[in-house]
Structure 1
Amino acid sequence: MPELPEVETVRLGLEPVLVGGTFSSVTTNRADLRFPFPPNFSRRLRGARVTELERRAKYLIAHLSTGEALVMHLGMTGRFHVHRAGAARAQLLGEYENSVPADDKHLHALFEMAGGAKVAYFDPRRFGYMLLIPETELPDHALMRGLGVEPLTEALNAAYLANRAAGRKSDLKAFLLDQRIVAGLGNIYVCEALFRAGLKPSRRASILAGRGGRPTEHAMRLVAEIKAVLAEAVAAGGSTLRDYRHADGASGSFQSAFQVYGREGEPCVRPGCRGTVQRSIQGGRSSFYCPVCQR
């Protein structure tokens, strides 16, 4: 499942082609993905200009001149191929680890732009989906209204985290994965941020709040590390994608920078620490941590 940095990476690849462009033709090759395509999907998009392409949590949202928003979720295996006008071949925006090669039987939607560019959506497992939602209804839509703050914005700060953590009995891992608190954070980057902050995943989230709900040093350090690890992952093209090509053609991957995730049984990389990375199961997901330097 792609996490926030991977979705942001795809957004950055789509933005130069979509924003400012107009859909001249939209073709769907089946009636549904995870959910049915919206009624009159192709007709409603034809002639619409994309005014902005944003990411909200793990959703891509194309704001349209028609007053609607095209909301896209990649699911587990959704990916886009971008063929710019005059280019010799398509640009692949992400190929997932262990995914099957893309072929025409997995091509479910084709967006043709007025300038000649084409954006093809492939999805072998069809867990992704696309919706058309009126802009006025978007903030209160079921998919959006419960989402927490974006972790790469100023809205995520130590005071906010302390306020949400005060008095909580849940552990840090579950607290950070709660999309109602921080939108878009996933298992990989929570493990990495907690390691960098020196905090054990199983500690109570309430350690982030002190007397009167004031943020503790733990909260300040954790916020800084969440932002740092996500920014680094975005710059590297994410980690659940393989063979990703940035808009300038350069490849990148964050897997090589993992400090704990997937490193069970390996020595801790923190200088001076003699611990060994361990794995535990929390809420049905693997947590990787160092039992010596994460407390």
Structure 2
Amino acid sequence: MVDYAHPEVLVETEWVARHLDDPKVRLAESNEDYLLYDTGHIPGAVKVDWFTTLQDPLRREFIDKAGFERLCSTLGIDRDTLVVFYGDRNNWFACYAFWLFEYYGHPQLKILNGGRMKWFKENRPVSMEFPKFPQTNYKASKPDLSIRAFRDQVLAHVQQHGALVDVRSPGEYSGELLHMPNYPQEGAMRGGHIPGAMNIPWSQAIDEIDGTFKPDEELTRLYLGKHNLDPKKETIAYCRIGERSSHTWFVLKYLLGFENVRNYDGSWTEWGNLVGAPIEKG
């Protein structure tokens, strides 16, 4: 990990094992599968569900600053707590939660390299207990708008021929796959991709065997070599709902050191339903 631009944002399973009882560390599991945490999790880890915990119950939007403060207070997280996220799907939603916590300015955040799968493959301790921690009085920072892209910003970015990374599968990108199987809530009226976007599926950044991030040299060849992305220029990543693109956002910003990368969390469920939005296929 030492060759990454910011290796300090990753921890390995051995590090987590040594800090299971550290009161200054809060482990947080964030999965696609809502029930997975309940079947067993890393001892002491709290559940941070993408949909029921992090999303507004009425609007297509994540929780506001006050809601984020309530969440952290309930989980016993203070400003000086180191929060370590991990989850299923090679840390899709762990990276989304990391991104949202950074959006509201939490100072200390890390990702468990390899996520839930690596921890379980190594037969490390698993708990069925739902931990409770003393409530805090958490105060969040103002939202960091520099890491989030809105649709009007994306449209302006397209018109300026800025770098766009579509992290979905080739079928989604081409428009051949309009609806993802088992994801009816992520549908869109039109298939395809945002004009000018290059297709770099999020999974290409992951080692298939243990789910860890690929080494720096492989990531550099993929993003800077093969696809010619410039770390000094603004880059926007998107997928369908913003979770896979937060994974790529994490790779670009923290592992490769991109200076200005944003996550378009509205992604294709917004863009593919917008009246008059430009779309390309193929």
TM-score (norm 2): 0.28
Which structure has the highest strand share of the two?
1
- TM-score normalized with structure 1 length: 0.27
Determine which structure has greater relative contact order: mean sequence separation of CA pairs < 8 Å that are 6+ residues apart, divided by chain length. Answer: 2
Q: Look at both structures and tell me which one has the larger radius of gyration over its CA atoms.
A: 1
Where is the helix percentage greater, Structure 1 or Structure 2? Answer: 2
